[in-house]
Structure 1
Amino acid sequence: MGKQLEIEIKVGLFVTIGIALIMVAILVLGSSENFLERKHTYTVHFKTVEGLIPGAKVVLGGVQVGTVKAVRLNPKERDIEVELSVSDESSEWIREDSRAEIATQGVLGDKYIGISPGTTDAEHLKPGSEIPVTSSAGLTQFISKGDQLMVSLNRIAGSLDNLLKSFESGNRADTLAKGMASTAKNLASASEKLNRELDHLNLKSSMANLNAILSKINNGTGTLGALVNDPGLYDDAKSLMGGVSRNRVMRNLIRQTVRESEEKSASSPVTAKEKR
């Protein structure tokens, strides 16, 4: 009975260990990389890894060629060092002009390292070397810029809302109306001052012309000046005007006498018979 129990325990342990080994083998063989394949290590330095974790894919030209072996901080360079494990066959494609970047599988997929194949003219990059990086606009940067854009749009919308509220409440309208009234008042005042200046200038010009005319008269220039300053001309003119006036009076008296005489002759009957 004791031997039977001992045999069952040994068989159970053997089966358990066998199952464990099979599971480990499945996990190892089911991984993306060949466990027995020769690997080469490369390093890449980033300012931020944006959630990249060990075990992530390393893709060369769209084909997975390895995995991320480690992600650690680098105090000397003050950045993050990413260690890559790449297959020996794929390492032949990694040249000095190759570039590495952190990419995303899909919009919200896992992070992975993408390497661009180098040209045949460039030298082969030796294992253990550092692969230069290229800056890529990741989803995190887009989200960050989108947040900044939304903040700016919210500020603009707030300013427009305050402006509309001010106009609706009448504050802006009153201020605008007051400003226009003040401007109109200033224009009216300026126009009035300008008119006064123009009137003043015209008055000055008229006075100057009048003074010039009076000066000519006093100096005896012209007909009016001669009449004023020469007494003889004044007397002659007076005599002439007087003669004209007397001649007019005499003509009027003669005309009046003839008219009265004709009227008397026409009204007398005796004179009419004598004429017949």
Structure 2
Amino acid sequence: MTLTTEQKVGLFFLAALVVLAVMIELVEDWRPFETQVNYHTFFRSAVGIKVGDPVRLAGVEVGRIRSIRLEGPRVRVDFYVVSGTDIRQDSLASIRQMNLLGGQFLGLEFGSPASPQLAGDAEIPSVEGANIDQLITHLDQNQERVFGTLGHLIEESRTSFVNAVARLESIAEKIDSGAGSLGRLVNDPTLYDELTLAVSNVKQVVERLEKGEGSLGRLLNDPTLYDQVSQVAANLQEVSSRLRAGEGSLGKLLVEDRFYNDASDAFASIRDISGKISRGEGTLGKLVNEEDVYRDTREAIARIASIAAKIDEGSGTLGHLVNDDDLYRDAKTTLHKVEKAADGLSDSGTVSALGTVIGTLF
């Protein structure tokens, strides 16, 4: 069968695409104009990385993984970096995650500036990191532990939990049926009506306040109050200024030292007098400190009380004088007689007057 020109061109183009794909796959890492430096490192596990994965230094791609193979109980990873990459003897290698969706790479860390450069074909120390399998394993273990503990807790408190739920259901039923204060509060429409009425009253009060009605409304809206307060503040400020200037008695008391000195002298005198009284000096000191004066005063008061009691009971001359009415009547009668005698003296002589007085009295 003879192929047409169009068929030949199509087959040639298809073959060229296949060859190009093979070349891309085989020479992906072929860089004829790039100098590469080989290194290797060891891990206990190399899960997630494969040949051809990138090698990154501080997040910047500097090479590729050449091979991964077992070497004793460890996994050897051979890789290269571009010549000029700053690899130090204390640099570290680790397997890192690109993102949460997957993909890993071999990460390198800068060494200290004081550390010397690491020669090619040398081993770079590694740091074991947590891979996705280990994270999932730990998550499963922690999940089992948490859910196991939670299950035991639920199992142990099942009875209490069931009783609590039953009580809550009972409370909800009571509230829904209107039982108790809370049930009435929830179901009785009177509360809504009262609340609406209260809001309406508050609204009316606010409106009246805004209009300036009533004492509080005037207090809020009348500028007179502000003027009076301003005047009081001004007066207080004036008084304060006068006090600072030492005007008036109170100002002098606050400013002049003489009042302070007089007060100090007065307190000193009081302390001196108090000291003398405490030491028993003077009449007041003896009266306060000597027991003989106290006893004499007490006995004198007791005697006065006894005398007053006797007088009140009518004992003795003074008692009769205070309590007996006969003495008052006799004195009144005598005065009447003296008055009659005085009247008779004006009409009689001396002898007759003396006889009249004697006769009147006796």
TM-score by length of 2: 0.39
Please identify which structure carries the higher helix content.
2
Q: Which has the higher contact order (CA 8 A, sep 6+)?
A: 1
TM-score by length of 1: 0.49
